[in-house]
């Protein structure tokens, strides 16, 4: 058996130096859903439809957030994608509903605050674990974001995401609008989403793909978010987001944070490097006012330096690679692919080298990618295969610069998906 191939970095990565088209720190709004329920929205209805039939509570709430100090409010387009609306037999109203919801928010903001467009999980899972292809999910988001851009949204916020495939699909679709794209996942107190994703590998993947900001929202309060955002801060090349829950004042779990306590706990997140903040479930205009006061008197720390830009990732794990990377022998995309990927865990290599001859190989690898616990490096024979492999890989991959294809095309495709070229 030949010796494993060793590749050495040949140039520095082009790291985003946080040149963002918005002012930092940025104060977002608070909760929409819990406040609208308190204002009379019944549980179990389609929120988007109820808001369009009852616009005053939404606009009053958004005006209150802006008066409290929000720099931006989110249009209530959270579930206005075709997949979610189909639950209410409203899938044919994507264009009309998104346009009207953004218009309501822009009217409420009246130029006093930015208006972001909200994207949520589709509720679908990609193959082989679900019924939808990755491209189908991208198309669902693309249909929605095209309307949101036309309606005049200032940025897109992909939030409360629970797996890397959904948020990658949303980012790929939203990037085509040319708008800034914020991305946040929701994790439990162990730091994991329902699918096992965690913040650090998500950050590494999304910032390399061109996300404008990455972070956490919902599920937990500020204190529970702190260790995960602090871990991510030194690896972030984009602003970090924290939009934690304040809890519900009438709940029995004792986790409700009044405005002053909420702001006090969020102060630690600012110290850790977060620069975009707001509130999720249970947060009111009073919570936003407390955050505004905090930001107006807070001196934020200097941005930490990235310790290792050569970071690969899969959904649940980040891999910080050294100056030299040892690749496995090429793994072919054939009937033995799954077994060969599992066997690689016993090899003394830094990454698995996967040979992609064509688009069919890329599709086969995507079905079996979850069998690998190591970083993945693609060696491709042509642009179509490489583009498909990187598009469907739910993480940040490497690309072998010695691939049998045009070098310019290789670098262009790798940059599109944030892959590391060796």
Summarised one tens digit per residue, pLDDT across range 248-267 is 877 666 789 999 999 999 99
Instruction: Using the structure block, give the residue that is written with the tokens 């509903």.
Output: 97
**Angle at the Cα of 277 (from 246 to 78), degrees rounded to 5?**
75
pLDDT-derived band of residue 307, with 50, 70 and 90 as boundaries?
Answer: low
Mean pLDDT of 307-321: 86
CA-to-CA separations, 206 to 141, 172, 177, in angstroms, rounded? 16, 10, 17
Looking at the predicted structure, is the pLDDT value of residue 70 above 90?
yes
pLDDT-derived band of residue 21, with 50, 70 and 90 as boundaries?
Answer: low
Looking at the predicted structure, is the pLDDT value of residue 396 above 60?
yes
Which range has the worst mean pLDDT, 8-17, 98-107, 159-168, 386-395?
Answer: 8-17
Give yes or no for a contact between 328 and 4, defined as CB atoms under 8 angstroms apart: yes
pLDDT-derived band of residue 7, with 50, 70 and 90 as boundaries?
Answer: very low
How far apart, in whole angstroms, are the C-alpha atoms of residue 85 and residue 147?
A: 15
Give yes or no for a contact between 185 and 194, defined as CB atoms under 8 angstroms apart: no
CATH number, domain 26-297 = 3.20.20.330
pLDDT-derived band of residue 17, with 50, 70 and 90 as boundaries?
Answer: very low
How far apart, in whole angstroms, are the C-alpha atoms of residue 105 and residue 62?
A: 7
- Binding-site positions read 218, 280-281
**pLDDT in the model for residue 62:** 98
% the chain with pLDDT above 90? 84
| Residue whose C-alpha is closest to residue 28's, from 72, 62, 76, 59 | 72
**pLDDT in the model for residue 1:** 30
| Residue whose C-alpha is closest to residue 241's, from 257, 264, 222, 256 | 222
CATH topology match: 6-14+310-421 vs 26-297:
yes
How far apart, in whole angstroms, are the C-alpha atoms of residue 178 and residue 114?
A: 16
Which range has the worst mean pLDDT, 21-25, 186-190, 386-390, 406-410?
Answer: 21-25
Looking at the predicted structure, is the pLDDT value of residue 222 above 60?
yes
Mean pLDDT, all residues of the chain = 92
Mean pLDDT of 165-192: 96
For the chain, give the number of residues.
422
pLDDT-derived band of residue 3, with 50, 70 and 90 as boundaries?
Answer: very low
Give 181's DSSP letter: E
pLDDT-derived band of residue 71, with 50, 70 and 90 as boundaries?
Answer: very high
Domain ranges of the chain: 6-14+310-421, 26-297
pLDDT-derived band of residue 302, with 50, 70 and 90 as boundaries?
Answer: confident
How far apart, in whole angstroms, are the C-alpha atoms of residue 258 and residue 402?
A: 58
Q: Which residues are 380's β-sheet partners?
A: 356
Residues in contact with 328: Cβ distance below 8 Å, sequence separation at least 6, in sequence order: 4, 344, 347, 349, 351, 352, 353
How far apart, in whole angstroms, are the C-alpha atoms of residue 30 and residue 370?
A: 36
% the chain with pLDDT above 70? 93
Summarised one tens digit per residue, pLDDT across range 95-134 is 999 999 999 999 999 999 999 999 999 999 888 888 899 9
- Binding-site positions for Zn(2+) read 218, 280-281
Looking at the predicted structure, is the pLDDT value of residue 9 above 80?
no
Mean pLDDT of 223-247: 96
Which range has the worst mean pLDDT, 14-18, 307-311, 363-367, 376-380?
Answer: 14-18
Mean pLDDT of 271-290: 97
Which range has the worst mean pLDDT, 1-5, 76-80, 100-104?
Answer: 1-5
Residue 254 neighbours by CB distance under 10 Å: 6
CA-to-CA separations, 89 to 46, 78, 83, in angstroms, rounded? 10, 17, 10
Nearest 10 degrees: CA dihedral of 411, 416, 420, 421? -10
In the sheet that holds 26-27, the strands lie side by side as 26-27, 274-277, 240-243, 213-217, 181-185, 155-161, 114-119, 72-75
**pLDDT in the model for residue 304:** 63
Which range has the worst mean pLDDT, 71-80, 241-250, 354-363, 413-422?
Answer: 241-250
**pLDDT in the model for residue 308:** 60
Say which CATH topology domain 6-14+310-421 has.
Answer: TIM Barrel (3.20.20)
- The DSSP annotation for 151-172 comes to HT-SEEEEEEE-SHHHHHHHHH
């Amino acid at each position: 058996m030949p010796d494993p191939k060793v590749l050495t970095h040949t140039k520095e990565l082009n790291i985003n130096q946080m040149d963002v088209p918005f002012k930092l720190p940025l104060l977002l709004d608070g909760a929409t859903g819990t406040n609208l329920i308190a204002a009379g929205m019944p549980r179990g209805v389609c929120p988007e439809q109820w808001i369009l039939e009852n616009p005053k509570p939404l606009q009053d709430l958004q005006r209150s957030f802006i008066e409290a100090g929000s720099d931006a409010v989110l249009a209530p387009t959270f579930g206005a994608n075709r997949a979610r609306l189909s639950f209410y037999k409203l899938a044919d109203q994507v264009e009309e509903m998104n346009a009207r919801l953004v218009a309501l928010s822009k009217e409420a903001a009246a130029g006093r605050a930015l208006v972001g467009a909200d994207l949520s999980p589709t509720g679908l899972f990609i193959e082989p674990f679900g019924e939808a292809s990755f491209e189908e999910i991208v198309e669902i988001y693309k249909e929605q974001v095209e309307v949101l851009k036309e309606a005049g949204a200032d940025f897109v916020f992909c939030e409360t995401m629970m797996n890397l495939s959904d948020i990658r699909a949303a980012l790929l679709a939203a990037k085509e609008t040319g708008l800034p794209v914020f991305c946040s996942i929701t994790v439990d107190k162990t730091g994991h989403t329902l699918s096992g994703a965690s913040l650090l590998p998500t950050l590494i993947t999304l910032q390399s793909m061109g996300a404008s900001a990455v972070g956490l929202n919902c599920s937990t309060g500020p204190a529970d978010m702190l260790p995960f955002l602090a871990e991510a801060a030194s690896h972030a090349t984009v602003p970090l987001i924290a939009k934690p829950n304040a809890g519900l004042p009438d709940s029995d779990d004792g986790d409700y944070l009044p405005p002053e306590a909420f702001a006090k706990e969020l102060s630690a997140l600012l110290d850790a490097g977060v620069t975009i903040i707001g509130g999720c479930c249970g947060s009111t205009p009073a919570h936003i006012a407390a955050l505004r006061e905090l930001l107006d008197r807070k001196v934020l720390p200097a941005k930490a330096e990235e310790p290792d830009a050569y970071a690969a990732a899969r959904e649940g794990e980040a891999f910080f690679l050294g100056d030299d990377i040892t690749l496995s022998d090429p793994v072919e995309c054939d009937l033995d692919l799954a077994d060969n990927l599992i066997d690689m865990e016993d090899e003394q290599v830094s990454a698995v080298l996967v040979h992609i001859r064509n688009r069919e190989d890329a599709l086969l690898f995507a079905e079996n990618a979850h069998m690998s616990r190591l970083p993945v490096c693609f060696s491709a024979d042509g642009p179509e295969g490489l583009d498909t492999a990187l598009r469907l890989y739910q993480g940040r991959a490497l690309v072998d610069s010695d691939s049998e294809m045009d070098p310019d095309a290789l670098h262009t495709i790798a940059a599109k998906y944030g892959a590391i070229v060796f």
